[in-house]
Structure 1
Amino acid sequence: MNPKYSFIIPIYNEEKSIPELYRRMSAVMEQLNAPTELILVNDGSRDRSLQMLRELHEKDPRVCYLSLARNFGHQIAVTAGLNFVRGEAIVILDADLQDPPELIPDMVDKWQQGYQVVYAQRIKRHKERWFKRFTAYVFYRLLKRLANVEIPTDTGDFCLMDRQVVDILNSMPERNRYIRGLRSWVGFPQTAVYFERPPRFAGEVQYTFRKSVSLAVNGLVSFSKVPLRLSTYVGLFAAAIAVAMAILVLYWRIFVPNSPLTGFTLILVAIFFLGAVQLVSIGILGEYIGRIYEEVKGRPLYTLAEVAGFKNVASRK
């Protein structure tokens, strides 16, 4: 019998959190009173995480696991889980327990009411630095304003998706994946459940500032053409500034011949300004061209080193 509910959890160096994660997930699975599967995706962990997943699979047949051949990143690990999932309702959450499993029954209630995407929306973050809270606040609102689809603010990958939505996501060929944007793009009835995000249960933060910036850039580039248009607007602005400067220089030459602003300093400032505009524009173009380059290579999204708990593995991606 195929499970009714599936849970996908990427794992990267989470040996300290796995026992508590399993305990709380087991309680939720028992509460749902339906066939379930727990898919744990080892994303190239360097600690004992993989060994612990093997032990959980031997102990509990509901636990399935995938082990990627190296670290491919959070979004790809989630994608791997989506490729193997079998349930009618699929929940994605993180292993650090900042996505509380106890919220899942509320998501299931919304799904049973007819919503095909139920996302968890944060109303408060506990024990996070002000800088992270501030940058997250700015990014989500900037993305909401610039994206060509309605992406809810203050939401991560913690969500429930209907089987129909997951099938569509699995059919999408793109490689630079931003799951929270893709689930909005597909449409279908969507709603939120609200929660206060608790602090990390144990271990070190795996999503570093560099990874967060990379994910933010990926989200902006994947769902908005505004950065490309911004290059045009900045170029036009620079051209207007150049024309104004030329008029001013001509005025100073005629009416203020001894003005120091008509010499080397003004020329140097203009060169630096135009050079900065050109470099920023090239950088924006590079982001889009880099994604085209990744797409046309056609490499697989990930490689698997070990799989357990699934039937007909050979027929899957």
Structure 2
Amino acid sequence: MKKLISICVPMYNESENIDAFYKQLTTTIKPLTQKYDFEFLFINDGSLDDSVNKVKALAQVDSSVKLLDLSRNYGKEVAMAAGFDYCQGDAVITMDADLQHPPKVILEMVEHWEAGYLDVYGKRNERKGESFIKKKMSEMYYKLLIKFSKVEVLPGVGDYRLLDRVCIDSIIRIKETQRYTKGLYMWIGFRKKEVHFDAEERFAGETKWKFMDLLKLGIDGLTSNTTFPLKIAGILGGILSVSSILYMVYILISTLIYGTSVPGYPTLVTLILLLGGFQLISLGIMGEYLGKIFHETKNRPLYFVQEYTGETIELEKIQVPQRFAKTESV
């Protein structure tokens, strides 16, 4: 009996790319079909265009194409978690539908999986179509994350990877709702192998990742992998407190020796603004961590599904385990 490889493709408004992506993907993996069966699981993350209909049309001619239609837009991290829950393969490949992840790399990934590696990840050599500023900001962010994270972080590595079933089952057991999947890949461990590729430009359409989305993802990465920002706030608070005491002693001694001096208002205002700004920054850092705790304690399902492989999901059929709202077998 052939082993099954699932290819999970989160999508949001990718109607222009789906046909070209499917054609290139199926052509590339054709040599592997003698040894493996394939499942193509498209996870629709609340698309507003014709993406769902495009996938359904493919499913009409190819029974290995499946659609997992989430009830709304939850974000890519949740969409990938949904894909992990529903995929059935002995190995799972996650990739984008915009062809920035070249399908030809899959052949090399499968080779390493056959050699015994459980997590074969793609590492970008070049990022075509990205601005110089965006590349430099990304480099700076990864340097910061690598320096302070307790878990190893790999720069230039995203979600394009092959995961063995043991890795998928391990990630499914992680029940947190505030997810940073790139950190989870490293946290679970297992034998890893990198393959290099050049990230292509999008086949069609515009990127869905705006500056604020990337900023949020970056903050999630920092607050999910390390508590260092809280330590920084404490360290700076201690330094400012000691400096304030020393300055107070200096003012006291100066007053006793030279008498009261009226000048000093600019210094006083500057110190007040400095301390006030630091306090607000510290509260903001603590607020990020408290916000994550708040969302986790709600214990809500991670997502809801309204359709899976053509069958509409009725609310009464939904089972609600600890982490997600998953349907009965369909």
Q: TM-score range by the shorter chain?
A: over 0.9
Q: Identify the residue that residue 267 of structure 2 maps to in structure 1.
A: 266
Structure 2 counterpart SS, 1:17: helix
1:126 aligns with 2:132: no
Q: Identify the residue that residue 207 of structure 1 maps to in structure 2.
A: 209
Aligned amino acid, residue 27 of structure 1: T
Describe the shift of the 1:36–1:274 C-alpha distance in structure 2 as closer, same or farther (beyond 3 A): same
Structure 1 counterpart SS, 2:155: coil
**In 1, Cα distance between equivalents of 2:258 and 2:131:** 54
**In 2, Cα distance between equivalents of 1:301 and 1:287:** 19
Alignment of 1:207-226 (within 5 A): 207-226=209-228
**In 1, Cα distance between equivalents of 2:39 and 2:181:** 21
Q: Identify the residue that residue 235 of structure 1 maps to in structure 2.
A: 237
Q: Decide whether the 8 Å contact of 1:44 with 1:71 is kept in 2.
A: yes
1:110 aligns with 2:112: yes
Q: Identify the residue that residue 328 of structure 2 maps to in structure 1.
A: 315
Aligned amino acid, residue 237 of structure 1: I
Post-superposition Cα deviations, 1:256-281, rounded to whole Å, max 9, x if no partner, equal 76978x52111111111111111111
Post-superposition Cα deviations, 1:270-300, rounded to whole Å, max 9, x if no partner, equal 1111111111111111111111111111111
Q: Decide whether the 8 Å contact of 2:305 with 2:327 is kept in 1.
A: no
Q: Identify the residue that residue 25 of structure 1 maps to in structure 2.
A: 25
Alignment of 1:117-156 (within 5 A): 117-156=119-158
Does 142-151 or 70-79 show the bigger shift?
Answer: 142-151
Alignment of 1:1-317 (within 5 A): 4-33=4-33, 34-250=36-252, 252-253=254-255, 262-308=263-309, 314-315=327-328
User: Once the 2 structures are TM-superposed, how far is the Cα of residue 316 of structure 1 from its aligned partner?
Assistant: 6.2
User: Once the 2 structures are TM-superposed, how far is the Cα of residue 62 of structure 1 from its aligned partner?
Assistant: 1.0
User: Once the 2 structures are TM-superposed, how far is the Cα of residue 96 of structure 1 from its aligned partner?
Assistant: 1.4
Q: Decide whether the 8 Å contact of 1:15 with 1:49 is kept in 2.
A: yes
Aligned amino acid, residue 28 of structure 2: V
Aligned amino acid, residue 292 of structure 2: R
With the length of structure 2 as denominator, give the TM-score of the two structures: 0.90
Aligned amino acid, residue 17 of structure 2: S
Aligned amino acid, residue 305 of structure 2: L
**In 2, Cα distance between equivalents of 1:122 and 1:26:** 23
Aligned amino acid, residue 31 of structure 2: Q
Structure 2 counterpart SS, 1:35: strand
**In 2, Cα distance between equivalents of 1:292 and 1:139:** 24
Aligned amino acid, residue 20 of structure 1: A
Q: Decide whether the 8 Å contact of 1:65 with 1:307 is kept in 2.
A: yes
**In 2, Cα distance between equivalents of 1:27 and 1:120:** 20
Structure 2, gaps ≥5 residues long: 312-316, 318-325
**In 2, Cα distance between equivalents of 1:178 and 1:238:** 33
**In 1, Cα distance between equivalents of 2:9 and 2:135:** 24
**In 1, Cα distance between equivalents of 2:288 and 2:250:** 37
Aligned length: 315
User: Once the 2 structures are TM-superposed, how far is the Cα of residue 2 of structure 1 from its aligned partner?
Assistant: 7.7
Q: Decide whether the 8 Å contact of 2:29 with 2:107 is kept in 1.
A: no
User: Once the 2 structures are TM-superposed, how far is the Cα of residue 254 of structure 1 from its aligned partner?
Assistant: 5.4
Q: Decide whether the 8 Å contact of 1:14 with 1:203 is kept in 2.
A: yes
Does 49-58 or 249-258 show the bigger shift?
Answer: 249-258
Q: Decide whether the 8 Å contact of 2:124 with 2:156 is kept in 1.
A: yes
User: Once the 2 structures are TM-superposed, how far is the Cα of residue 147 of structure 1 from its aligned partner?
Assistant: 1.1
User: Once the 2 structures are TM-superposed, how far is the Cα of residue 90 of structure 1 from its aligned partner?
Assistant: 0.6
Aligned amino acid, residue 267 of structure 2: L
**In 1, Cα distance between equivalents of 2:231 and 2:276:** 18
**In 1, Cα distance between equivalents of 2:232 and 2:32:** 49
Structure 1, gaps ≥5 residues long: none
Structure 2 counterpart SS, 1:173: coil
**In 2, Cα distance between equivalents of 1:182 and 1:198:** 25
**In 1, Cα distance between equivalents of 2:69 and 2:88:** 18
Q: Decide whether the 8 Å contact of 1:63 with 1:309 is kept in 2.
A: no
**In 2, Cα distance between equivalents of 1:3 and 1:161:** 14
Q: Decide whether the 8 Å contact of 1:29 with 1:36 is kept in 2.
A: no
Describe the shift of the 1:57–1:257 C-alpha distance in structure 2 as closer, same or farther (beyond 3 A): farther
Task: Give the % identical residues.
Answer: 34
User: Once the 2 structures are TM-superposed, how far is the Cα of residue 135 of structure 1 from its aligned partner?
Assistant: 1.1
Q: Which has the higher contact order (CA 8 A, sep 6+)?
A: 1
With the length of structure 1 as denominator, give the TM-score of the two structures: 0.94
Does 210-219 or 23-32 show the bigger shift?
Answer: 23-32
**In 2, Cα distance between equivalents of 1:154 and 1:122:** 5
